[in-house]
Amino acid sequence: MDFRCVKCLLLGFVFLFVDQAVSGKTSSNAERTEDRASQNKKRQDTLKRLAKLKVSYVAPAGGVDANFRKEYLKDIRKFGVSIPNEAFVNKNICRFSDTDSNRLLRLKHSINSDSKIIWAMRGGFGSYKLINSLKNLPDPKKKKVLIGFSDITALNLYVSQNWKNWTVIHAPMIVHLAKDQYHHPSWNMLLDILENKISQYKMTVLSPLNKAGEKAKIGKIRGKLTGGNLTLIESGLKTSWEIDTDDKILFIEDCHETAPSIYRSMHHLKEAGKLSKAKAIIFGHFVGVSEYKKYLKHFASESNIPMFITDQFGHGKNNLPLVYNADGCIEGNSLTVKLPRNR
């Protein structure tokens, strides 16, 4: 074979390689475009479903940033979702969306309105300051649903433990409808709950953190659900909204703390007697916390309470709903949530 033949063969291989690379890149780009289109369609369907619900939108903690308001005006509201201007108020008074009196006034209006759902715009900081005033209100006669997480944990705990005819759900808030935060499985399951399409559901991929958790693979752990943001749960000790953990399955998450502070807070709950009668603990996302799994595993090793970890709820995009006071059953690597009948 002379030099010219070898040269032709080499050029052929080069062209073939380049052609395959270009074809692969084009195919990959097409797949990404198709995925984005599919996600956008799903989000639009979610917005249309949301628009059919009777919702009061409130900001009892921090205020919504201007970027989300722009996205609402440009995109979200055209699907029928109607959020009043007062829900976008952001005076940023020490990170509160507004004065305590104004935030309380809007929350009370939502409680007494004809809406069926009160949905927090976002968490942030400050919902706990409204609870002392809520204590002075008569128990609401209307059954409603309260939705939120993070700082809204304070309201979630107070309402779920005192207003027995209300349904409280740890779930995505309205700012998570933004395109860069939207997670379809979380919203789809949440809307299925609100539309009474399901009576129970499963949260899978629970990984045991200790020997007691391992035993769940051959047995069942039952208890009603409660929990939320660890910082708020700890802050609520010795208050009117202190968490009741007796015979409960706790779900716990947090964000932007440090792993040692997470460990310390869990130890504080243990020392305060809040874990002694708990049936189990499920840890979710701890976004922005490096090595948190290592510290939680060490904490779990010091306890006989079954402990698990999952990426299915918390401050990450994946935030499947958890309904307070719902019957939970842990078996194997999954949690089955049986929804209250009177919701």
150 is catalytic: yes
Contact by Cβ (8 Å): 54, 114: yes
Choose the catalytic residue: 150, 160, 186, 303.
150
195 is catalytic: no
262 contact partners, CB below 8 Å, separation of at least 6: 230, 254, 286, 289, 292, 295, 296
Q: Would you say how long the chain is, in residues?
A: 343
Backbone dihedral angles phi then psi of residue 116, each to the nearest 5 degrees: -100, -15
- For 259, the 3-state DSSP assignment is helix
- Report the b/e string of 276-305 with b at 16+ CB within 10 A: eebbbbbbbbbeebeebeebbbebbeebeb
Choose the catalytic residue: 253, 265, 285, 303.
253
- For 289, the 3-state DSSP assignment is coil
- For 159, the 3-state DSSP assignment is helix
298 is catalytic: no
Q: Which residue stretches of the chain are H helix?
A: 3-51, 66-74, 100-112, 131-134, 153-162, 184-194, 211-214, 230-235, 259-271, 292-301
Contact by Cβ (8 Å): 62, 95: yes
Active site residues: 150, 253, 315
